[in-house]
Amino acid sequence: MDVGFIGLGTMGLGMAKNVVGGGHTVVGYDTNPEAVAQHARNGGRAASSAGEAALEVDLLITMLPNGAIVEDVLFGSGAAVDNLKAGALVVDMSTIHPLETDRIRQRLAELGHSMVDAPLGRTSRDAVAGTSLIMAGGTPGDLGTCRPVFECIGDTIIDCGGPGTGSRVKIVNNFMTTTLNVLTAETLRLAESIGLDLDTAIEVMSGTPAVRSHMTTTYPAKVLKGDLTPAFMIDLAKKDLDIAIDLAAKQGVPLTMGDAAAGLSQGPGRRPRQAGLDGALRPLAQDDELSRRASVCSHATPCPSPSAVGRRTCRQKARQKHLQYCRASLDYGDCRSAKRRRRPRIGGPGGSAAGDEKRRPSVE
């Protein structure tokens, strides 16, 4: 396959080299002349501009720092799109804002070109080794076209569910990765400040959700199944968190993430179990429960779509219909027997202001 590759930086240079190694012709361009020269030494062809890199290629890959640069390379000063042949596919592997991804895809579609968003997971060392994780967002046909090239770049290719989903998953992933990086640094600094051996501390934490992650332990077992019954009381967890924050303060160690968690776990004027942490978890559980009920709701119809995107759309429509007709909440029981419910009217036929006052709970 003839591939154009724009962006031969920390990640891109190794990626392009692996695509060359897979037997593809790769025309590479970067604003750094040395990177282009290194690409040529790696067996690729050097381009003098983004436009030249797009000439007569089947696949044009962009791997750039941000969305503004991607747009400029494709539609602005780079004008790469002007040189694309009919049927050429654009693959943006940059990490950019999902709404920028959507806008670029729309502009390309208006010019007759399809796009796949396929940012990478893992590190620059994986990019060099060809062991990246690829989060691919595109139609099944376009992903099939890209697969031979993707297999040169990574060892894990995940279809994230349709156009735009690769970019979205990458941002969610990086949000958690970056936040956990800060938390990890604070945790190890605290352990060190109170005289713990770091290897021992890491060994202990590696056997608990501290390292094993709530994402793979408590959330699948409880929260994502709609179960918010406490396995450990938030007020006791808050007590432990307060001890850690106090201990760190006495050692002169700032715990930015700890302070944020403490604020979430104890809202103003509320008991710990009623605080913001419970409020953050409940929508996850409710959404899972409502989606489950929608899937068995008597108003739902079988999904005729063979694609993942189509099935997701069917689930969303079923859920909307379920909410519209069954008026389901977590307190209504089985939606098959739930009936549309209306609020009692205040005053006039069917209700009275006096009667309504009697029904209202006291706020005194």
Q: What is the pLDDT along the chain (364 residues), one digit of tens a residue?
A: 999 999 999 999 999 999 999 999 999 999 999 999 999 999 999 999 999 999 999 999 999 999 999 999 999 998 899 999 999 999 999 999 999 999 999 999 999 999 999 999 999 999 999 999 999 999 999 999 999 999 999 999 999 999 999 999 999 999 999 999 999 999 999 999 999 999 999 999 999 999 998 899 889 998 899 988 877 778 888 999 999 999 999 999 999 999 999 887 654 444 434 444 555 656 665 555 444 444 444 344 444 444 444 545 555 555 454 444 333 333 333 333 333 333 333 333 334 333 333 333 333 3
Look at residue 122 and tell me if it is in a domain.
Answer: yes
Look at residue 164 and tell me if it is in a domain.
Answer: yes
Q: Which domain holds residue 54?
A: 2-169
DSSP H or E segment with residue 166: helix 165-193
Q: Output 250-254 pairs: Cβ under 8 A, ≥24 positions apart.
A: 251/190, 251/193, 251/194, 252/193, 253/186, 253/189, 253/190, 253/193, 254/186
**Active site amino acids:** 170
Locus of tokens 């989606």: 291
DSSP per-residue codes, 266-288? S-TTS-GGGSHHHHHHHHHHHHH
Total domains, the chain: 1
pLDDT of residue 228: 83
Residue 116, domain CATH: 3.40.50.720
Q: CA torsion sign, 294 to 295 to 297 to 298?
A: positive
Q: What is the pLDDT of residues 199-252, one digit of tens each?
A: 999 999 999 999 998 899 889 998 899 988 877 778 888 999 999 999 999 999
Q: Give the whole-angstrom CA distance, residue 254 versus residue 196.
A: 17
What is the pTM assigned to this prediction? 0.73
pLDDT of residue 302: 45
Q: Give the whole-angstrom CA distance, residue 85 versus residue 78.
A: 16
Look at residue 221 and tell me if it is in a domain.
Answer: no
DSSP code of residue 81: G
Look at residue 303 and tell me if it is in a domain.
Answer: no
Look at residue 46 and tell me if it is in a domain.
Answer: yes
pLDDT of residue 263: 85
The amino acid present at 150, given as its one-letter code, is F
